[in-house]
Amino acid sequence: MKTEVIAFDVHNTLARFAPERVSSIEVQDLLARFGVETSYQSLEAARQYVFFFDTPKREIHGYVDFLALQFDHMGLRVNLDVIESIAAMYDRRDSMVLFDDALTAIEMAKAKDLRVVAFTTLPKFMLGRAADELLPKLDAYFDASATGYAKGDPRFYASITQSLAVPPHAIRCIGDNLTGDCLLPQRAGWQPTWLNRRDAQPSNTFPTVHSLTDFAATF
């Protein structure tokens, strides 16, 4: 089966969040200083709601946009200046960092005349500073707003296949999540590889590598 496309997951595959990223309890405490009471659990639940129900409907344009949706779903009345302050905190601390092997693997794929795409839950703006290095190297960035479906929905993968105009088996993908990056893509007809960076219990179901350069060596 001829491979035409390499699809990379983003979070914990191409890039990771910095250790100093903002926590929900920090947001809870900051809101409390302005008289808005809530729980970190509610914040986390509403954050997931935005990812899986709002982002398929439209592109989210930065943390102000994202937080406004998040707080609205929680029924919180938060002044715009407070939202902007929290958004600035995310912008400072939640920028993603590319793994050392990310760009090398992409370049190795390009050298084989393969198209390179990302498939991810994360809106582009959440890449932060990593976007400047990563996005120019990609032929496409498929998130929920690009496909109309959240990652994990079978239609997410089918939409990507349709957009790429290739047979499903022509797409090789890699990611760190056995379900969203391997099992569901396999059901969609893709050829998955599991990225096991943390030396977790080996999988007997999917081909496994421990780095992106190991994966790229198989192109």
The predicted-structure confidence for 107-130, as pLDDT tens digits, reads as follows 999 999 999 999 999 999 999 999
Residue ranges of the alpha helices (H) in the chain? 24-33, 40-49, 63-73, 80-93, 102-111, 130-134, 144-147, 154-164, 184-187, 212-216
Token pair, residue 197, equals 């960076």
- Answer whether residue 200 shows pLDDT above 90: no
User: Range with the lowest mean pLDDT among 30-39, 49-58, 192-201?
Assistant: 192-201
pLDDT for 66 equals 98
Across residues 68-74, what is the average pLDDT?
98
* Reported pTM: 0.93
| φ, ψ (nearest 5 deg) of residue 205 | -100, -35
Question: Residue 89: how many CA atoms within 13 Å on its side-chain side?
Answer: 16
Q: Spell out the domain ranges in the chain.
A: 5-17+96-216, 24-93
Across residues 89-108, what is the average pLDDT?
96
pLDDT for 199 equals 78
Task: Tell me what the pLDDT averaged over the chain comes to.
Answer: 96
Across residues 11-20, what is the average pLDDT?
95
List Cα–Cα distances, 50 to 15, 32, 58, 91, 107, in angstroms: 21, 22, 11, 18, 33
pLDDT for 1 equals 74
Q: For the domain with range 5-17+96-216, which CATH number is right: 1.20.1060.10, 3.40.50.1000, 3.30.450.40, 3.30.565.10?
A: 3.40.50.1000
Pairwise CA distance, residues 121 & 125, whole Å:
12
pLDDT for 54 equals 97
pLDDT for 62 equals 96
Percentage above 90 pLDDT, the chain: 95
- Answer whether residue 202 shows pLDDT above 80: no
pLDDT tens digits, residue range 46-60? 999 999 999 999 999
- Residue 79's pLDDT band, with cuts at 50, 70 and 90, is very high
List Cα–Cα distances, 54 to 49, 64, 72, 131, 173, in angstroms: 7, 14, 12, 22, 25
pLDDT for 123 equals 97
Cβ contacts of 76-84, under 8 Å, gap ≥ 24: 76/31, 76/36, 76/38, 77/36, 78/31, 78/34, 78/36, 79/34, 82/30, 82/31, 82/34, 82/36
